[in-house]
Amino acid sequence: MKLATIENGTPDGALVVVSADGSRHLPAGMTMQAALDSWNASEPALRALAERLDAGEGDSTNGIAFAAPLPRAWQWLDGSAYRSHGELMETLFGTEPPPPGRPLMYQGLSHQFLSATANVPLPREEDGIDFEGEFGIVTDFVPMGVTPEQALSHIKLLVQINDWSLRALAPVEMKTGFGWIHAKPACSVAPFAVTPDVLGDAWRDGRVHLPLAVDWNGERFGNAEGGAMEFGFHELVAHAASTRSLCAGTIIGSGTVSNSNFREIGSACIAERRGIEMLDHGKPSTSFMHFGDTVRMEARLRDGSLLFGAIEQKVVKG
């Protein structure tokens, strides 16, 4: 099942169910947050709408202004679950590796998620503007103390995220030990959120086993496979819920999708490319983004169909 939120002038928009090919939609009569708050009751009605779409019903999505699936959320937690990415960031920023067996995670800005096509206003190029291609999940209510096995049943939707970063500001905030405020502006999210069954065998072990293609200014920058997470999403959920419950609509990100053969398949963020250049040449040579630059991200199923829709954005002076 594929879900989306249409912009309607309200903060949370209007939830719609979308056909498998993304061409048609039917209104759900609620918001995404309302659906997640009562998922056991709302899911059968949403799936009934999906069946009607499968039968050919629904209005065209042409010209529809899609918001992020959750335009605002109660909670956004971002992990760093790809060890190859973590090792490069440690090289770039001179930080120590995390304790063995413990996922990295921070709590970020959640009152606003940008649509997949919105321009991204930022204050200064010298802040080190960077994209970060990620996969993410959305939960229903998660009780405190769930095991990773139990956490799997609380993963209701999968999403695709661009976690914008300001790299020049990150090291300063990291040294405070209190987390990021200035270095992490609002994320962008691809238009469609999908239930795990849509992925078939590409969803297993709490991981999205699909490549995330990233293009910068129209040129391929990376195509890393999502399945290489050191910790699966079920383990990230259990980690986040170890001492507290998680509200319905909690979004958890994978961190930048990365593979150990990054030199062959490229990267999902500029900082990783710069880390590779430091390893190979002693200093980075790739610049961060400039105003007017564009980035596109998409994930496709093995049959070539577009899964989440595409993120395609331009960075502009804020």
Going from the C-alpha of 152 to that of each of 109, 157, 217, 231, the distances in angstroms are 25, 11, 37, 13
Q: Using an 8 Å Cβ cutoff, are 251 and 73 in contact?
A: yes
The answer to whether residues 117 and 266 belong to one domain is yes
Higher pLDDT, 90 or 270: 270
The answer to whether residues 63 and 115 belong to one domain is no
Q: How many domains is the chain built from?
A: 2
Structural domain of residue 4, as residue ranges?
A: 1-67
Alpha helices in 164-282 (DSSP H): 170-176, 233-240, 262-265, 270-281
The answer to whether residues 136 and 246 belong to one domain is yes
User: What's the pLDDT score for residue 69?
Assistant: 98
% of residues, the chain, pLDDT over 70: 100
How would residue 214 be classed by pLDDT, with cut points 50, 70 and 90?
Answer: very high
The answer to whether residues 213 and 260 belong to one domain is yes
The answer to whether residues 39 and 94 belong to one domain is no
- List, in sequence order, every residue forming a beta bridge with 160; answer none if it has no partner: 135
As a whole number of angstroms, the distance between CA 182 and CA 173 comes to 8
The answer to whether residues 166 and 291 belong to one domain is yes
Task: Express each pLDDT in 158-212 by its tens digit.
Answer: 999 999 999 999 888 887 878 889 999 999 999 999 999 999 999 999 999 999 9
* Of the residues 10, 36, 67, the one at which a domain ends: 67
The answer to whether residues 236 and 98 belong to one domain is yes
User: What's the pLDDT score for residue 177?
Assistant: 78
Give the distance from CA 309 to its chain's centroid. Answer: 12
How would residue 85 be classed by pLDDT, with cut points 50, 70 and 90?
Answer: confident
CATH code, domain with 233: 3.90.850.10
- List, in sequence order, every residue forming a beta bridge with 203; answer none if it has no partner: 208
Task: Express each pLDDT in 218-230 by its tens digit.
Answer: 999 999 999 999 9
The answer to whether residues 252 and 120 belong to one domain is yes
Q: Quick one: average pLDDT of 41-50?
A: 98
* Of the residues 67, 85, 120, the one at which a domain ends: 67
As a whole number of angstroms, the distance between CA 209 and CA 103 comes to 19
* Of the residues 51, 67, 83, the one at which a domain ends: 67
End-to-end CA distance of the chain: 36
- At a CB cut-off of 8 Å and minimum separation 6, what does 122 contact? 129, 164, 166, 185, 315, 316, 317, 318
The answer to whether residues 17 and 161 belong to one domain is no
pTM of the model: 0.96
- List, in sequence order, every residue forming a beta bridge with 129; answer none if it has no partner: 166
Q: Quick one: average pLDDT of 21-31?
A: 97
Task: Express each pLDDT in 276-286 by its tens digit.
Answer: 998 899 999 99
Looking at the predicted structure, is the pLDDT value of residue 116 above 80? yes
